[in-house]
Amino acid sequence: MKKYIVYIGILVTGLLLGWLLFGGSSNKKTEHNHSEIEETNQMWTCSMHPQIMQPEAGDCPICGMDLIPSESSADGLGTDQFKLTENAIALANIQTTIVGESNVEGNAIKLSGKIAENEKANAVQVSYFSGRIERLNVSFTGEKVSKGQLLATIYSPELYAAQQELITASTIKESQPALYKAVRNKLKLWKLSEKQINQIESTGKVKENFPVYATVSGTVTDKLIEQGDYIKQGQPLLKIANLNTVWANFDVYENQIELFKKGQEVSVSTNAYANKVFKGKVDFIDPILNNKTRTVTLRVVLNNKNDVFKPGMFVSANIDGVKNEVKGALSIPASAVLWTGERSVVYLKTNPDQPVFEMHEVKLGNQIGNEYEVLVGLFVSDEIVTNGTFTVDAAAQLKGKKSMMNKDGGKVMTGHEGHLGMENNASNKENDHTNMTERLEAPKAFQKQLKNVYDNYINLKDALVEDNTNKVSIDANILLDKLSQVDMKLVKDKTHNHWMSLAKEIKSSATAISKTTDLKEQRSHFKHLSSHLINSVQLFGVNEKVYVKFCPMANNNKGAHWLSKEEKVINPYFGEAMLTCGEVKQVIE
């Protein structure tokens, strides 16, 4: 009996030890497996091609760049919502605006305008005789002058001869008074005073240089000559503005004209003096409508003896006593609206604290200047995208969400589908190299115009190879000119919208390059220019073999692409420093 008790004790002890030794590890293994399962839920995408989604890290099947972890913060978003990174928003300069009611509130209307010089008080100081400016006493634009102040000293051969005529005529004035009077009158026409004429006559001496005095008091707004210049009779020398009074010019929309009349009281304010309100009256309403903006100018004259208002300053006006028949009208900037011919859409920022966006269809009313009246689809306090709208729409398309051209949403390409597309393209006997992007239909005339842009891109690239910053800037301007010549009417529907989005990005990058001569900054913008032009050539083609090259050391070792006409690698990101760094990543047939 004791023997069995010992056996049972050993068995229980063994089971207990086994549970202690292997049970915990089993739990750990379960936890580890659970962790692995969670890790497998991590998707990987390409920063250049966000439509690529793969379950594991690796290279992008389109451009070969290293894949990066996809954001997992999309959980909790609506079916049609998508999120952009702060970096993407900054790069695309995406801006939003809060939707508000129209600028008519109760019985007051608010207008925006700008301060301008009072043209009635402006004067142009001219020269009344030809000659050479020996001395100019006005040093800079903005200098104040007083009536009678010496502005310049001029040497005039004509005036020199006229003085000699006066001295000669004065000796025979008794016998020929008409001649004497005619000579004096000629000098008066040249704005010489009686005192100056009498001094010449009494002394019998001819003055070589004559002064020019200010005929009005005011501020010099434009200096039209420099010391040493030769001038003609009647030529403007200076523009002088009397800024004791100024004009405040406001734009009034076509459908608001009937609300205003001459003599209405106006309260004017400006950000320069946030707590002050200045009073004025409507002095003039332009009888001619501006066809471009569909507005007329409403003018208010403001007292400015204390130099409060500066020409060019933005101001706003509140006009009381206006009866408004339109209640609750909403208006949004025209830049916020995308349309397909049948639908008008905007992108709503659904979360004020997060860059989450969603497409909304809207029904528009009349266009008033640069704004549209919204009849249906938006409410006061909605936040909408007003700059970078095409970029946001492109992101929606890539993420398979509702977009301008796909109101029901689309399908995101997975990594498997991306590789499958590569294999299918690679098997195409007409191409020896992989065509990574589906080619859109584009007429040859459009491809030819795109090739002009591409050819100037190559010139810009070659200038970067040579480290020639001035030529880079010039070539960027030429590229912009060729880009403006691309006729967008040649492409329609999906092709048109893709090109509109890409053309905007190409223009932005090329403009940034043209405005700087800093080589490092030019190469930084060239990276973005190359990215968008690569997409353009992939989508539309230029009827020419194009090499897509990649340098892994550019862009702070993150890598950057560029386009070339030849297979040989000549690196524009480093020039002579590392001329042959890089490799051919793709050949676009």
- The number of angstroms, rounded, from the C-alpha of 511 to the middle of its chain's C-alpha atoms is 9
In terms of DSSP H, where are the helices of 79-193? 86-92, 157-171, 177-189
> pLDDT at residue 156 above 60?
yes
- The reported pLDDT for the residue numbered 40 is 47
Handedness of CA 112, 118, 119, 120 (dihedral sign): positive
Tokens found for residue 388: 């970078």
Tell me the pLDDT of the chain averaged across its residues: 79
Name the DSSP letter for residue 412. P
- The reported pLDDT for the residue numbered 550 is 85
Whole-number Cα distances in Å, 290 to 14, 44, 251, 324, 522: 98, 54, 10, 23, 40
Q: Which of 337-351, 423-437, 445-459 has the largest mean confidence?
A: 445-459
- The reported pLDDT for the residue numbered 19 is 58
Place 1 in a pLDDT band, splitting at 50, 70 and 90. low
| pLDDT tens column, 30-88 | 444 444 444 445 777 776 665 566 778 888 776 677 777 765 444 557 778 888 888 88
Tokens found for residue 55: 């379950």
Q: Are 524 and 509 in contact (CB under 8 A)?
A: no
Name the more confident of 108 and 152.
Answer: 152
Calculate mean pLDDT across residues 8-23: 61
Residues of the chain with pLDDT > 90: what percent? Answer: 17
d(CA 206, CA 163): 6
Residues of the chain with pLDDT > 70: what percent? Answer: 79
| pLDDT tens column, 306-333 | 889 999 898 888 876 555 444 456 788 8
| pLDDT tens column, 246-302 | 999 998 877 778 888 888 888 898 888 878 899 989 999 999 988 877 789 999 999
The answer for residues whose C-beta is within 8 angstroms of residue 215's C-beta and 6 or more apart is 123, 125, 147
| pLDDT tens column, 203-240 | 888 888 888 888 888 889 889 889 999 989 888 999 99
- The reported pLDDT for the residue numbered 369 is 53
Q: Are 119 and 406 in contact (CB under 8 A)?
A: no
Place 510 in a pLDDT band, splitting at 50, 70 and 90. very high
Name the more confident of 243 and 411.
Answer: 243
d(CA 260, CA 242): 28
Angle between helices 177-189 and 194-203 (to 10 degrees): 130
- The reported pLDDT for the residue numbered 76 is 58
Q: Which of 93-97, 224-228, 321-325, 504-508 has the lowest mean pLDDT?
A: 321-325
- The reported pLDDT for the residue numbered 284 is 93
Place 417 in a pLDDT band, splitting at 50, 70 and 90. very low
d(CA 532, CA 539): 11
Nearest of 564, 570, 502 to residue 533 by alpha carbon: 502
**With left for phi above 0 and alpha for psi between -120 and 50, is residue 341 left, alpha or beta?**
left
Name the DSSP letter for residue 22. I
| pLDDT tens column, 142-155 | 898 988 899 999 98
Place 186 in a pLDDT band, splitting at 50, 70 and 90. confident
Handedness of CA 44, 49, 52, 58 (dihedral sign): negative
Q: Which of 42-51, 86-95, 187-196, 509-518 has the lowest mean pLDDT?
A: 42-51
| pLDDT tens column, 354-376 | 899 999 898 877 665 567 778 78
d(CA 452, CA 479): 8
Name the more confident of 44 and 584.
Answer: 584
The answer for residues whose C-beta is within 8 angstroms of residue 437's C-beta and 6 or more apart is 62, 535, 538, 539
Tokens found for residue 456: 């100037």
Counting every residue written for the chain, the total comes to 589
- The reported pLDDT for the residue numbered 70 is 65
Calculate mean pLDDT across residues 421-438: 35
Name the more confident of 481 and 56.
Answer: 481
Name the DSSP letter for residue 295. E
> pLDDT at residue 526 above 90?
yes
Handedness of CA 65, 69, 73, 75 (dihedral sign): positive
Name the more confident of 410 and 146.
Answer: 146
> pLDDT at residue 21 above 70?
no
Q: Which of 182-186, 344-348, 495-499, 580-584 has the largest mean confidence?
A: 344-348
Q: Is 123 helix (H, G, I), strand (E, B) or coil?
A: strand
